[in-house]
Structure 1
Amino acid sequence: MAVVLVAEDDQDIAAILTRLLTRAGHSVRHEPDGTAAFERAAVDRPDVVLTDLGMPRMDGLELTRAIRGHPDLADTPIVMLSGHLHPGDHEPISAGVCAVLLKPCPNDKLRAVVQELIDRGPHAHHGASCPVHQPVSV
């Protein structure tokens, strides 16, 4: 069973994501802000991090950069799910995100992207790009 860490400050969205990913067979951990998510990631070492962009204390870009800068977490696949990005926005990819999904995202697409990254496993992010998984925008 893969562990997915969900960093999402909206409790309703977090509940929906938790239910969706749990039904897909994953063990889900949730944290309401980037700082708490980073601290949880350092302890739990999740298989995938699913992060929102806009969160208190540390946003999704800062969380991504912190994960990429941590020697034990740097290869962790990261998906950004946000309603505050525009198609073609390159900042998340430059920060080291593997996939970008725009809210609202179809459930089957979200499950497929998370599963693909779980299947691929940890992988290097040379520079700020992910050579294994091309960014996905829905």
Structure 2
Amino acid sequence: MPGVLIAEDDEDIALILTRLLKRAGYTVQHAPDGQRAFELAVAGRPDVVLTDLGMPRMDGLELTRAIREHPELRDTPIVMLSGHLHPGDNGPVRTGVCVVLLKPCPNDKLREVVNDLAELGAHGHSGADSGCPARWPVSA
């Protein structure tokens, strides 16, 4: 089973995301902050990382940078799910996020994006031939 690491500080949202992705057939790990998410990513090598933007100890952009700088994680697909971004804010994509979704995001759209990235697998995140979809934002 493909594995998804969820970095989300809101326990209620994390529980909903965990249930949704487990029902879709994923093995799911949850971290309540970016630092713990990075530690779990290094230890477990998830197939996809799903991160919030605003979190304690390391926010979603810092987590993305840390993953992109790690030699064994740099090609991991990353989805940012946030309610704190505004359309046109290219910070997440410039940092290396593959897809940005705005909260609230329909469950079927979230499943579709995670499935697409899990199928795509590890891929580069810079240059025209990177393979990264780099979509922002994905509409519902």
* Residues 49-68 of structure 1 aligned to structure 2 (within 5 Å): 49-68=49-68
Map Cα deviations across residues 5-24 of structure 1 (whole Å, 9 max, x no partner).
00000000000000000000
- Deviation >2 Å, runs of 4+: 129-132
Q: Which digits, 9 at most, give the CA deviation of each residue in 1:83-112, with x for residues without a partner?
A: 000112100001000000000000000000
Mapped to 1, the partners of 2:89 and 2:131 lie a distance apart of: 18
Q: Distance in 2 between matches of 1:9 and 1:26?
A: 20
The correspondence of residues 19-98 of structure 1 with structure 2, limited to 5 A, is 19-98=19-98
Say whether 1:132 aligns with 2:132.
Answer: yes
Rounded to whole Å, the distance in 1 between the matches of 2:26 and 2:55 is 23
Gap regions ≥5 residues in structure 1: none
Deviations 1:35-65 (A, max 9, x none): 0000000000000000000000000000000
Match of 1:5, as an amino acid?
L
Unaligned runs of 5+ in 2: none
CA distance in 1, matches of 2:132, 2:66: 20
C-alpha spacing 1:47/1:25, structure 2 compared with 1 (3 Å): same
Amino acid at match of 1:100: V
SS at match of 2:71: coil
Q: How many residues align?
A: 137
Which residue of structure 1 aligns with residue 16 of structure 2? 16
TM-score (ref. length: structure 1): 0.96
Give the 3-state SS of the residue equivalent to 1:134 in structure 2.
coil
Post-superposition offset of 1:130: 5.7
Q: TM-score under structure 2 normalisation?
A: 0.94
Helix, strand or coil at the partner of 1:4: strand
How big is the shift at 1:126? 1.8
